[in-house]
């Protein structure tokens, strides 16, 4: 927590006052050069950045790592956070294959932006987040919140694989020479959303989804200091045959989780109330669901998604003796629904999980969702499953998280620790939870 330190009773002279004024002006100018002032819509970035600095002592942006002959690879981020994570993992594998340092772009923690051709995207990520009025291209960046990668994700898996990375201080290409000594750039343009698939060997068959193929060996010996990709989004963007690279990608998908201390702390608060005793494992007797319905194709498919989730939940629990348990289930559901306080309902539901052959309607469920009013918007699920809870049922957590941008990350962390996870089809957010869910269960089975 920051503190306000009071000044002494010293009264400077006129000359001293002028000197202090000059220093203050220089400090302000320096701040503007280091980190452009966020617009009012991006004030949350300052809060998250400040909190991150209090908990991190990173050396990924240290000039001590810079070498005059160092070679780099980087990319341009777009879309939602989990799509950016996919691109980040692809970039890390490329950096490993090319033996280059990964120059980390700032990731957007705010509202998702659209893919754009690399020439346009390079301009947008550099200029729009701090000044949405400079171009008609910028309005979608009004809620763009650029943050250092390791303020969001744990990058220790990079170190484990020997992937060296350095964090960019800003996204302005013209600053690369000053900050990193980069004078020459080889740009790999992508005029369409799926311009190229990157292959590590000639014998790898390219996916039809992509317009063309790009062999890593063709850029292995590029003399330019920086190889700059546009979009690297796509789970199948890399066509890999080298077992070492395949294993490295799988390792990063499972191991590169969230790192923000407030997110992990508040996720642990929820997990403890759900009956989990250790956030480092998956030891809670609950099922998690991701129900995405708020935008795009997911809004159109919301009804189908809800039906699929309901059917999956009905088959999570052992069906043996279900008929005999119906009366107990009906009576218990009525008692739970009559309780006035959600905390009382939660405590009763947690106790029920120790019973054998528990009816599906009484199973403990945590649902991660983008629904703003889940009890109203998903009332049918709440009515059918009496022990269904969402982040909204934990007001002490939502109040403790100062910035709402972090709340979906809490959702993801909690959901990944469940015994069983039911995803929203084709959601990369569900994909992330599934990967982390696999990680926690892998730990559980090996201990």
276, two tokens:
């989990």
Domain presence at residue 53 = no
Residue 55 confidence class, pLDDT cut points 50, 70, 90: very low
Residue 34 confidence class, pLDDT cut points 50, 70, 90: very low
Same domain? For 267 and 355 the reply is yes
Predicted pLDDT at 314: 87
Q: With CA atoms as reference, report the closest residue to 431 among 409, 416, 414, 443.
A: 416
Q: What is the mean pLDDT of residues 334-354?
A: 95
Domain presence at residue 113 = yes
Same domain? For 224 and 271 the reply is no
Same domain? For 245 and 267 the reply is no
- Could you say which DSSP state residue 281 is in? S
Give how many domains the chain has, as a whole number: 2
Same domain? For 104 and 120 the reply is yes
229, two tokens:
């990709």
- Could you say which DSSP state residue 170 is in? -
Q: What is the mean pLDDT of residues 115-129?
A: 94
371, two tokens:
């629904």
Q: Check pLDDT > 80 for residue 444.
A: no
Q: Check pLDDT > 90 for residue 417.
A: yes
Query: What distances in angstroms separate CA 295 from CA 190, 291, 313, 380, one per listed residue?
Result: 26, 12, 23, 20
Please say whether the beta carbons of 300 and 431 come within 8 A: no
**What would the 3-class secondary structure string for 176-241 be?**
HHHHHCCCCEEEECCCCCCCEEEECCCCCCCCCCCCEEEECHHHHCCCCCEEEECCCCCCCCEECC
The 10 Å Cβ neighbour count of residue 343 is: 13
pTM to 2 decimal places: 0.82
Buried b (16+ CB within 10 A) or exposed e, 90-105: bbbbbbbbbebbbbbb
The last residue of a domain, from among 213, 233, 255? 255
The last residue of a domain, from among 218, 240, 255? 255
Distance of CA 387 to the CA centre of its chain: 27
Q: With CA atoms as reference, report the closest residue to 249 among 100, 109, 97.
A: 97
Q: With CA atoms as reference, report the closest residue to 88 among 78, 116, 297.
A: 78
**Percentage of the residues of the chain whose pLDDT score is greater than 90:** 68
Q: Check pLDDT > 80 for residue 323.
A: no
The residue ranking higher by pLDDT, 343 or 1, is: 343
Same domain? For 385 and 423 the reply is yes
The residue ranking higher by pLDDT, 404 or 10, is: 404
Q: Check pLDDT > 80 for residue 35.
A: no
Q: Check pLDDT > 70 for residue 162.
A: yes
Predicted pLDDT at 315: 82
Min mean pLDDT across 21-35, 214-228, 329-343, 359-373 is at 21-35
Beta bridge partners of 199: 215, 239
CATH number for the domain that contains residue 357: 3.40.50
Predicted pLDDT at 71: 96
Beta bridge partners of 101: 72
The last residue of a domain, from among 202, 229, 255? 255
Q: Check pLDDT > 50 for residue 20.
A: no
| Torsion 160-218-181-79 (CA) sign | negative
The 10 Å Cβ neighbour count of residue 46 is: 14
Q: What is the mean pLDDT of residues 397-419?
A: 95
Residue 190 confidence class, pLDDT cut points 50, 70, 90: very high
Residue 67 confidence class, pLDDT cut points 50, 70, 90: low
Q: Check pLDDT > 80 for residue 445.
A: no
Q: Tell me: the pLDDT tens digits for 423-437? A: 999 899 999 999 999
**Percentage of the residues of the chain whose pLDDT score is greater than 70:** 79
Q: Tell me: the pLDDT tens digits for 253-272? A: 999 999 999 999 999 999 99
Predicted pLDDT at 37: 35
Write out the E strands in 235-383. 238-239, 287-291, 365-369
Please say whether the beta carbons of 392 and 375 come within 8 A: yes
Please say whether the beta carbons of 371 and 351 come within 8 A: no
Q: What is the mean pLDDT of residues 332-343?
A: 94
Predicted pLDDT at 181: 94
3 state SS of 420: strand
Residue 324 confidence class, pLDDT cut points 50, 70, 90: low
Same domain? For 277 and 164 the reply is no
Q: With CA atoms as reference, report the closest residue to 349 among 305, 293, 389, 393.
A: 389
Residue 156 confidence class, pLDDT cut points 50, 70, 90: very high
Predicted pLDDT at 374: 92
Please say whether the beta carbons of 105 and 171 come within 8 A: yes
The residue ranking higher by pLDDT, 1 or 196, is: 196
Q: What is the mean pLDDT of the chain?
A: 84
Q: What is the mean pLDDT of residues 64-73?
A: 74
Q: What is the mean pLDDT of residues 108-122?
A: 94
Predicted pLDDT at 299: 84
The 10 Å Cβ neighbour count of residue 445 is: 8
Q: With CA atoms as reference, report the closest residue to 274 among 385, 187, 389.
A: 389
Domain presence at residue 62 = no
Same domain? For 310 and 384 the reply is yes
Please say whether the beta carbons of 188 and 180 come within 8 A: no
Q: Check pLDDT > 90 for residue 239.
A: yes
Q: What is the mean pLDDT of residues 388-395?
A: 96
Please say whether the beta carbons of 58 and 167 come within 8 A: yes
Domain presence at residue 11 = no
Domain presence at residue 115 = yes
| Residues constituting the chain | 447
Min mean pLDDT across 15-19, 60-64, 83-87, 431-435 is at 15-19
Query: Which is it for strands 72-74 and 365-369: parallel, antiparallel or unpaired?
Result: unpaired
Query: Which is it for strands 365-369 and 388-390: parallel, antiparallel or unpaired?
Result: parallel
3 state SS of 153: strand
Predicted pLDDT at 392: 95
* Domain coverage including residue 417: 261-445
3 state SS of 22: helix
């Amino acid at each position: 927590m920051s503190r306000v330190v009071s000044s002494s009773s010293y009264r400077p002279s006129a000359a001293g006052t002028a000197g202090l004024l000059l220093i203050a002006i220089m400090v302000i100018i320096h701040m503007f050069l280091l980190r452009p002032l966020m617009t009012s819509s991006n004030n949350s970035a300052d809060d998250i950045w400040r909190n991150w600095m209090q908990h991190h002592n990173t050396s990924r942006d240290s000039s001590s790592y810079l070498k005059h002959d160092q070679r780099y690879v980087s990319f341009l981020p777009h879309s939602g956070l989990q799509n950016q994570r996919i691109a980040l993992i692809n970039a890390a594998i490329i950096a490993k294959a090319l033996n280059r340092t990964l120059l980390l772009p700032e990731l957007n923690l705010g509202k998702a932006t659209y893919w754009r051709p690399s020439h346009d995207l390079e301009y947008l990520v550099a200029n729009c987040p701090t000044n949405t009025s400079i171009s008609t291209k910028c309005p979608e960046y009004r809620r763009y919140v650029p943050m250092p990668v390791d303020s969001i994700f744990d990058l220790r898996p990079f170190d484990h694989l020997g992937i060296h990375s350095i964090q960019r201080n800003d996204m302005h290409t013209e600053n690369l020479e000053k900050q990193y000594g980069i004078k020459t750039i080889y740009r790999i343009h992508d005029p369409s959303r799926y311009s190229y698939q990157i292959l590590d060997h000639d014998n790898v068959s390219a996916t039809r989804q992509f317009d063309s193929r790009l062999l890593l060996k063709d850029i292995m010996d590029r003399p330019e200091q920086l190889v700059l990709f546009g979009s690297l989004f796509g789970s199948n963007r890399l066509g890999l045959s080298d077992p070492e690279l395949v294993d490295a990608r799988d390792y990063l998908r499972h191991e590169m989780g969230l790192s923000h201390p407030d997110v992990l702390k508040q996720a642990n608060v929820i997990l403890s109330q759900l009956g989990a005793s250790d956030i480092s494992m998956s030891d809670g007797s609950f099922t998690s669901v991701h129900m995405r319905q708020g935008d795009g194709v997911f809004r159109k498919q919301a009804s189908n998604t809800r039906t699929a989730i309901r059917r999956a939940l009905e088959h999570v629990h052992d069906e043996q003796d279900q008929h005999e348990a119906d009366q107990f289930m009906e009576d218990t559901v009525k008692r739970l629904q009559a309780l006035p306080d959600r905390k009382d309902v939660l405590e009763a539901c947690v106790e029920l999980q120790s019973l054998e052959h528990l009816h599906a309607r009484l199973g403990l469920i945590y649902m991660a969702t983008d629904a703003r009013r889940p009890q109203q918007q998903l009332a049918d699920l709440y009515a059918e499953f009496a022990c269904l809870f969402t982040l909204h049922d934990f007001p002490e957590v939502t109040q403790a998280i100062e910035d709402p941008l972090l709340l979906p990350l809490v959702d993801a962390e909690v959901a990944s620790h469940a015994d069983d996870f039911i995803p929203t089809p084709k959601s990369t957010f569900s994909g992330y939870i599934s990967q982390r869910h696999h990680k926690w269960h892998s730990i559980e089975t090996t201990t």
